[in-house]
Amino acid sequence: MPELPEVETVRRGLQRLTLGFVVNEVDALLPRTIAAPESVDAFAAGVVGSGLTGWQRRGKYLLGKLGDDEQRGDRGWLGVHLRMTGQLLWVAPDTPVSKHTRVRLLGVAQDGAGERPWELRYVDQRTFGRLWWVPPRVETDAVMTGLQRLGPEPFSDEFSVAYLRRSLQNRKRSIKSALLDQALVAGIGNIYADESLFLSGIHPLTQCATLAEERGDRLDKLQKMVVQVLRTSIDAGGTTFSDFVGVTGVNGNYGCEAWVYGRDGEPCKGCGATLERLKIAGRSSHFCPRCQK
Ligand SMILES: [Zn+2]
């Protein structure tokens, strides 16, 4: 499943490739991919004639700003959530359409080479991903309601040690399940939760309250490690990026360099102990029984 670094990598690719792209036709092969407005026709009416003027990311949501082709007037937003297996492809319209293609945004790309017919294609094997059109002068979270429950961005000042301590105190649940909760911090998934807990020396089953109340600097370290593993992964994704605006494997860009994620049964790179796996909050947690207490 794409997590924050993969989605940020996609955002950078979209920002680099798609600015100035004007949509002139929407082909929704799987209409329920469009979450809002209610009909594909209304979605198409909102998006057609609009040009992409910039891409933002909030948690794992992508937000494409739409402007009027002539005057760059406000035409609302194109929202995208890739969920499990969604991919955005930036392709020539005659590129063979795979059976997992869900929505085709056909239009005209504009860059140094001039204008040419082009396509932003949404492909999704598992079909959990969604697209939205948010009309002008409407708040994005009024339409993309999942945005309402997102906690702070991990790179924002709001995601501080003080914020973490305040949010975790008196909470009995495990730190692993708290990190997976998008209301605590936006964009963290299983890979980066496991990696940051390892780098902070924290056992995934540690109670939030215990961590918030203990003396020492583990919470401080956790806050720093969350930011660090995300940055490392974004940097890795950014360097390998091509014209393929997408994410593929379930391991993300960080998978091959992981300390613990997906490595249960293998030796810890820190101490040599055999790494273990536990189910927490319905997800596999990977950890070192010796380095993480
Ligand atoms: Zn270890």
C-alpha 143 to ligand 1 mean position (Å) = 45
Residue 293 among the catalytic residues? no
Spell out the domains of the chain, with CATH numbers in brackets. Answer: 4-148 (3.20.190.10), 161-287 (1.10.8.50)
Contact call for residues 145 and 81 (beta carbons, < 8 A) = no
283 classed as catalytic: yes
Burial of 48 from C-beta contacts in 10 A (0-12 / 13-18 / 19+): middle
| Active-site residue, 221 included | no
For the stretch 219-278, pLDDT in tens is 999 999 999 988 888 887 644 333 345 543 333 445 457 899 989 999 999 999 999 999
Global confidence as pTM: 0.88
Name the catalytic one among 3, 6, 8, 195.
Answer: 3
Distance 289 CA to ligand 1 centre (A): 7
Task: Please give the distance, rounded to the nearest whole angstrom, from the Cα atom of residue 219 to the centre of ligand 1.
Answer: 19
Query: How far, in Å, CA of 181 to CA of 150, rounded?
Result: 9
The one catalytic residue among 57, 58, 60, 65: 60
Q: How far apart are CA 106 and CA 104, in angstroms?
A: 6
CA of 197 to the centre of ligand 1 (A): 12
Enter the tokens of residue 260.
């613990």
| 271 CA → ligand 1 middle, Å | 4
Tell me, yes or no, if 99 is annotated catalytic: no
pLDDT at position 13 is 85
User: Which ranges of the chain have pLDDT less than 50?
Assistant: 238-244, 247-253, 255
CA 267 to centroid of ligand 1, rounded, Å: 8
Tokens representing 38 are 């209610």
CA 232, 190, 264, 124 torsion: positive or negative?
Answer: negative
The amino acid at 235: D
pLDDT of residue 247: 40
Say how many C-beta atoms besides its own lie within 10 A of residue 127's C-beta.
15
Q: State the distance from the centre of ligand 1 to the C-alpha of 174, rounded, in angstroms.
A: 20
Polymer length of the chain: 293
Catalytic residue among 2, 5, 152, 154: 2
270 C-alpha to ligand 1 centroid (Å):
5
